[in-house]
């Protein structure tokens, strides 16, 4: 992070910081033998704000290859979305899991 100084219109000095963008993390959905495809699509639409077509495509990838990326976010958002998804699953009796991985 570097600092720069600029003079404001009122004559004061402003300190401008060059901030690095936050690290990004993938939220990966994991396949299991019990969670329904409909539930996974619902999670993708409600938690990850995917269209129905996008949600179905991701769900099919999870079903066929064992995992799929729901989205890429800064750490706090990724962890929150993963936890919300797993909490939804527990309330409906599914063993559905998500993992958060650094990119």
The tens digit of pLDDT for each residue in 11-60 reads: 677 788 888 899 999 999 999 999 999 999 999 999 999 999 999 999 99
Query: Tell me: the pLDDT tens digits for 56-103?
Result: 999 999 999 999 999 999 999 999 999 999 999 999 999 999 999 999
Q: What residue numbers bound the domain in which 93 lies?
A: 21-102
Contact between residue 90 and residue 19 where contact means Cβ atoms under 8 Å apart: no
Q: 85 in a domain, yes or no? A: yes
Burial class (CB in 10 A: 0-12, 13-18, 19+), 16: exposed
Give the number of C-alpha atoms closer than 13 A to the C-alpha of residue 94, restricted to the C-beta side: 21
Report how far Cα 47 is from the mean position of its chain's Cα atoms.
9
pLDDT for position 1: 47
**pTM attached to this predicted model:** 0.81
pLDDT for position 6: 62
The CATH number for 31's domain is 3.30.1390.10
The total number of structural domains that make up the chain: 1
Q: 69 in a domain, yes or no? A: yes
């Amino acid at each position: 992070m570097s600092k720069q100084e600029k003079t404001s219109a009122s004559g004061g000095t402003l300190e401008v910081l060059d901030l690095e963008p936050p690290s990004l993390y993938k939220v990966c959905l994991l396949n299991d033998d019990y969670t329904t495809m409909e539930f996974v699509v619902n999670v993708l639409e409600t938690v990850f704000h995917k269209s129905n077509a996008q949600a179905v495509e991701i769900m099919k990838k999870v079903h066929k290859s064992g995992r799929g990326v729901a989205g890429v976010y800064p750490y706090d958002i990724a962890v929150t979305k993963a936890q919300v998804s797993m909490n939804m699953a527990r309330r409906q009796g599914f063993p559905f899991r998500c993992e958060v991985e650094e990119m």
